[in-house]
Structure 1
Amino acid sequence: MVVGKKQNRILVLRYRFIGDTILTVPFLRNLRRAEPDAHIAWVVAPGSAEVVKGIPYVDELIYWDPVTIHADSQGKHRTFSDKLAFIRALRARHFSKVYVLKRSFSSAIMALLSGARERIGFNTEGRGFLLTKRVPYCSDRHEVENFLDVLKSDGVAVEDDFLEFWSTPEEEAAAVQLLSGAGANAGNGLVALHPFASIAQRGWHLENFATLAARFQEQGLTPLVLGAPCDRKTFDDARRLFGAGTVDLVGKCSLRVTMALLKDCSLFVGNDSGIMHLAAAAGIPLVALFGPQSPVKFGPWSGKAVVAYKKFACSPCRQKFFTECEPSPRMRPACVEAITVDEVFSEGMRLLNLSKEGKYGNEQ
């Protein structure tokens, strides 16, 4: 750094949701490479920020925690006074540039109120007048690509686009201990299943996952089920469907230990979810199940991934179940029910075989 030169101070706005948070990492890595001496701060949600603990590309995480129905929030910025104090704290940091990766009008307002002279973001929701550089948002491109387009529009070179996360030796040891206590061995043919979805109708039915688990067991593999504490009741109601050889880890480990555990698995199969994106970041083969939502924007960003998706005339839909289509007897839309156990099992075994051979299909 040149002595006496004022340090560039950059703010990045992309908060809420595990998936959105982990998909922002390539943006931050390329930004850091271009700005090695800058102070880079990232506004994140407290809960989802867990997945980027240890990130080396930012100097500061700033927690924004308003009341919202869309994320796990404690609502620390609940009142007008709370929000005003947050904005004042942003202004006190004297940012010169803000990248607004959120597409909402409110995030552009936050960028303006931060006091930054340069405000670069997507030209969406009629907020372009609040930005100094407006970037087109493409609905037919993956979110990672859209984020990187923001950098490119600002003249920043993009050299790579892979996902990553950072687990500690302690978390990795905890994962091994957890598996051992459940009668499983790390790296010994573990197949992680995540059968839950934020909206049940979006997810493949638990009966399908149970049948899939039995098929993997027949191949000498060990299926294990991952889920959050809020998924416990749902899994308890369906536990009888799964054989005794299925390892039940639903609600039994923290998000951070779950991330470390994913690295020990040979394959992941799961619904469209934040955990699916973490499996992609872990670098393991995976089969992602998509129904009403298109995988174009939020599919797994990995060269080791396969998407099971049946496109209907109504796909993707507004997900107002069930006003636009008739539910199946199991209360799922046709696009979800059309995905068969046979095809998911076949794709999973194909990826496992490619892994043994040291090569993968479906490269990004």
Structure 2
Amino acid sequence: MDSMVILRMRYLGDSLLLVPTLRKLLLAYPGIFLTVVVNRGTEYPLKNLSGIRVVVFDNRSFWGKLKSSYDMVRLARERKWDLWVDWTVSDRSRLFSRLADASRKLSCGWKKDERPSSQNSIYVPVDFNHGPDPVMNQYESSLRKIGVHLSATSDPLVSSSASSRMEIETWRKENRLDQETPILLIHPGGREWYKRWPPDRLAQVGNWWSKVHKGVVVIIGTREDQTLILSVTSGFQPETRFLIVQESIPFIHALMESSTLFLGNDSGPLHLADAAGLYGVGLFGSTTPAVWGPVSTGRLLTLYDPPACSPCSHEGCSQGVDNCLRRIEVNQVIEGLSRQLKLREKHLKEVSLS
């Protein structure tokens, strides 16, 4: 196989979870012309992978979608592709796949949308909500249906750039943070309100970190998260030292590499923390970590106490203040962070002795 296109036009976490599979493909097919299509704002982790052409679909405006759709039609007819893979599961990606000139096509989607397979087009039902397999395993299982077999393991780590690491050094100096200062990164955001652990509970964890570990709490998020961030910081004790960082993804990535622990909901930054090699705790409610959990084993502990309705279709939540994330208590998170801190210290000691 000499050429391949993969469509995964979703979110940042989806791009990060794709990294191990892409590395396996490059290893299995040296010299392959591999093109990956992702949405604007989610391309960062893939741009650091050598041997991959990244095509960005601009889904943020009408004109952006129009221009990107034209570019996608050109891509579909650019050459006779050996394999065209659609892992996006959307009407738009299905249209582009139908237009593609490819020797073989692999499409994935819900069981209820299943269409008859043909000689060169195979449809594989997947369930990215209920699994039960991790999403990465579902990717690779679908590839096996068309005879593409990949190695068993791959590293999810992605390194930040040297320029971003230099920015972090400057940031540390400006905020008087030496290398020994323990940093707890907290990401309070989530795509939907019911995918966010309550801000007052995040504040309680931050107060614990400051009091017990004499550390600094760093809240990360976007400009759109401003109200949510303020809801967290309003619960801090006067003696709790905290900083707010609303910077680019490369900056956040480098910051994660130099931090102590991470705490956040199931979202892109959780998987970015995994890619940065950061230890910590991920909070799951409407999604299951069995499918959407971190790729690495051990570094990030996932907490999940599902009600009968989880995992759900993410079309809203009728549970209100009794939603699934509220089932996770503060003491559970503190115990989890304490456990991960010990694992981190053990790992650093082993590295220093090796």
TM-score (norm 1): 0.85
Does residue 1:104 correspond to 2:98, yes or no?
A: no
Give, in angstroms, the shift of residue 135 of structure 1.
3.2
User: Secondary structure at 1:92's aligned position in 2?
Assistant: coil
1:293, 1:344 → 2: CA distance? 18
Does residue 1:352 correspond to 2:347, yes or no?
A: no
2:273, 2:106 → 1: CA distance? 30
Letter matched to residue 157 of structure 1 = L
Q: Which residue is 1:137 aligned to?
A: 126
Give, in angstroms, the shift of residue 55 of structure 1.
1.1
Q: Is the 8 A contact 2:206 2:236 kept in 1?
A: yes
Does residue 1:263 correspond to 2:257, yes or no?
A: yes
User: Secondary structure at 2:23's aligned position in 1?
Assistant: helix
Gaps of 5+ in 2: 350-354
Q: Which residue is 2:114 aligned to?
A: 126
Give, in angstroms, the shift of residue 10 of structure 1.
1.3
- The one of 305, 309, 318 equivalent to 1:314 is 309
Letter matched to residue 35 of structure 2 = A
CA-atom RMSD, angstroms?
2.4
Letter matched to residue 310 of structure 2 = S
User: Secondary structure at 2:167's aligned position in 1?
Assistant: helix
TM-score (norm 2): 0.87
Give, in angstroms, the shift of residue 188 of structure 1.
3.2
* Structure with the higher fraction of residues in helix conformation: 2
2:15, 2:293 → 1: CA distance? 14
Task: Please give the per-residue CA displacement for 1:88-143, whole angstroms capped at 9, x wherever unaligned.
Answer: 24312432211222223432331231211111232542345476233342521111
1:156, 1:30 → 2: CA distance? 9
Q: Is the 8 A contact 1:151 1:158 kept in 2?
A: no
Fraction of identical pairs, as percent: 22
Relative to structure 1, the CA distance from residue 187 to residue 152 in structure 2 (aligned partners, 3 Å threshold; closer, same or farther) is farther
Letter matched to residue 92 of structure 1 = E
1:57, 1:345 → 2: CA distance? 41
Letter matched to residue 114 of structure 2 = G
Give, in angstroms, the shift of residue 273 of structure 1.
0.8
Relative to structure 1, the CA distance from residue 191 to residue 128 in structure 2 (aligned partners, 3 Å threshold; closer, same or farther) is farther
Does residue 1:228 correspond to 2:222, yes or no?
A: yes
- The one of 76, 87, 90 equivalent to 1:90 is 76
Note the 1:74-85 alignment, pairs <5 A. Answer: 74-79=61-66, 83-85=69-71
Task: Please give the per-residue CA displacement for 1:171-213, whole angstroms capped at 9, x wherever unaligned.
Answer: 1111222233223234632111111222223211111111101
- The one of 314, 326, 338 equivalent to 1:337 is 326
Gaps of 5+ in 1: 1-6, 67-72
Relative to structure 1, the CA distance from residue 226 to residue 176 in structure 2 (aligned partners, 3 Å threshold; closer, same or farther) is same
Does residue 1:43 correspond to 2:29, yes or no?
A: no
Q: Is the 8 A contact 1:27 1:151 kept in 2?
A: no
2:33, 2:317 → 1: CA distance? 48
Give, in angstroms, the shift of residue 238 of structure 1.
4.3
Q: Which residue is 2:352 aligned to?
A: none
1:172, 1:18 → 2: CA distance? 21
2:341, 2:202 → 1: CA distance? 18
Give, in angstroms, the shift of residue 255 of structure 1.
1.0
Q: Is the 8 A contact 2:259 2:278 kept in 1?
A: yes
Does residue 1:161 correspond to 2:150, yes or no?
A: no
1:152, 1:188 → 2: CA distance? 47
Letter matched to residue 233 of structure 2 = R
Q: Which residue is 1:274 aligned to?
A: 268
Q: Is the 8 A contact 2:83 2:103 kept in 1?
A: yes
Q: Which deviates the most, 299-308 or 88-97?
A: 88-97
User: Secondary structure at 1:160's aligned position in 2?
Assistant: coil
Give, in angstroms, the shift of residue 264 of structure 1.
0.8
* Number of equivalences: 339
Q: Is the 8 A contact 1:276 1:288 kept in 2?
A: yes
User: Secondary structure at 2:210's aligned position in 1?
Assistant: helix
Task: Please give the per-residue CA displacement for 1:214-246, whole angstroms capped at 9, x wherever unaligned.
Answer: 111122232211111111233235433224543
Relative to structure 1, the CA distance from residue 189 to residue 127 in structure 2 (aligned partners, 3 Å threshold; closer, same or farther) is farther
Q: Which deviates the most, 102-111 or 40-49?
A: 102-111
Q: Is the 8 A contact 1:152 1:158 kept in 2?
A: no
